[in-house]
Structure 1
Amino acid sequence: MIRVLFVCLGNICRSPLAEAILNSKVELVGMQSQFKCDSAGTSDFHIGELPDERTIKCASKYNLPLNHRSRQVNRTDFRDFDYILAMDDNNLRNLNNLKIRYGFADKEIHLMRNFVAKTQGMSVPDPYYGGEEGFEEIYQILDEAIDSFLAQVKATHQLYA
């Protein structure tokens, strides 16, 4: 089983949407038994909360079920997940600091948009302080990046639908 963790700051906007997109894509090709997907935040701002209402609205527009309550990244995530995907440089830096503190210095953390050649090194922008258009923008960004990520994972692990 391939275990994937998406990480943003508060775990109410970008990462739960990414989780829902990946879950939908693997279900569409009948590979849901081969993937475990979750999301978390590097901060404790929203622990236990449902995703932002604009995230819920965006997910609903694309028929993506969101079944998540915000949680903070913890030590066992570095042990339990094969892929940890950060939404931006700040969260990447936070995760890299945490992995050292928790004793997982060799764990590779990926920047979400690095799976798309033309957007390597770019962040998934945080839509929290904007309007609904920001959530549509991150949906489009995540949809493309997750397609590329999924293709790479399938090739790396020789998974076939």
Structure 2
Amino acid sequence: MFDSVLVVCAGNICRSPTAEYILKAKLEGKNITVSSAGLTALEGKSADATAKQIAQVHGINMDSHQGRQLNSQLIAQNSVILVMEQRHLTDLCSRYPEARGKTFLLGKWINDTEIPDPYRQSQEAFDHVYALIDSACSAWQKYL
């Protein structure tokens, strides 16, 4: 089985931290570590305020999140890598060929759904993205 999951998006302040904290909650009690990073991360930045607020409404606290850049060490340390968009998958595997075979769309089990970037968009966009991420994380639960 898998012992570690890395969730990746672009900036590591909206989608991947949301998925990280939702997955942590859903996998509580299992011996699986969950973390996140970004392909073009905003290093050291907190999660986006709107993303944090929506997560809080759902009982998820993301206050401790700090953005970090994806690197080869993170690729090696994690048994599964989940990305938001097909272009993330392509980019990540071209930069880190060793990630092939363990990198998948977060939305794989919900018809290969891509998770759009809500950054600098409306509350409704963030609500929509939260619902997609929550659904995708629920679908991954049985495989992790």
Which category describes the TM-score, using the shorter chain as reference length?
A: over 0.9
Query: Are 1:112 and 2:106 counterparts?
Result: yes
Structure-1 separation of matches of 2:101 and 2:78: 10
Moved over 3 A (4+): none
Equivalent residue for 1:17? 18
Q: Provide the aligned C-alpha RMSD in A.
A: 1.4
Structure-2 separation of matches of 1:6 and 1:131: 23
The one-letter amino acid paired with 1:8 is: C
The one-letter amino acid paired with 1:137 is: H
> Normalization by structure 1: what TM-score?
0.83
Do the aligned residues in 2 keep the contact of 1:78 with 1:107 (CA within 8 Å)? Answer: no
Q: Which structure 2 residue ranges, 5 or more long, are not aligned?
A: none
**Counterpart of 1:133 in 2: which secondary structure?**
helix
What are the within-5 Å matches in structure 2 for residues 1-161 of structure 1? 2-27=3-28, 30-31=29-30, 34-44=31-41, 46-66=42-62, 67-100=64-97, 104=98, 106-116=100-110, 119-120=111-112, 122-153=113-144
Give the CA deviation at 1:135.
1.2
Give the CA deviation at 1:106.
4.4
Between structures 1 and 2, the one with greater helix share: 1
Greater Rg over alpha carbons, structure = 1
Sort the Cα spacing of 1:79 and 1:62 in 2 relative to 1 into closer, same or farther, 3 A: same
The one-letter amino acid paired with 2:5 is: V
Q: Which structure 1 residue ranges, 5 or more long, are not aligned?
A: 154-161
Sort the Cα spacing of 1:106 and 1:143 in 2 relative to 1 into closer, same or farther, 3 A: closer
Give the CA deviation at 1:63.
1.0
Identity %: 31
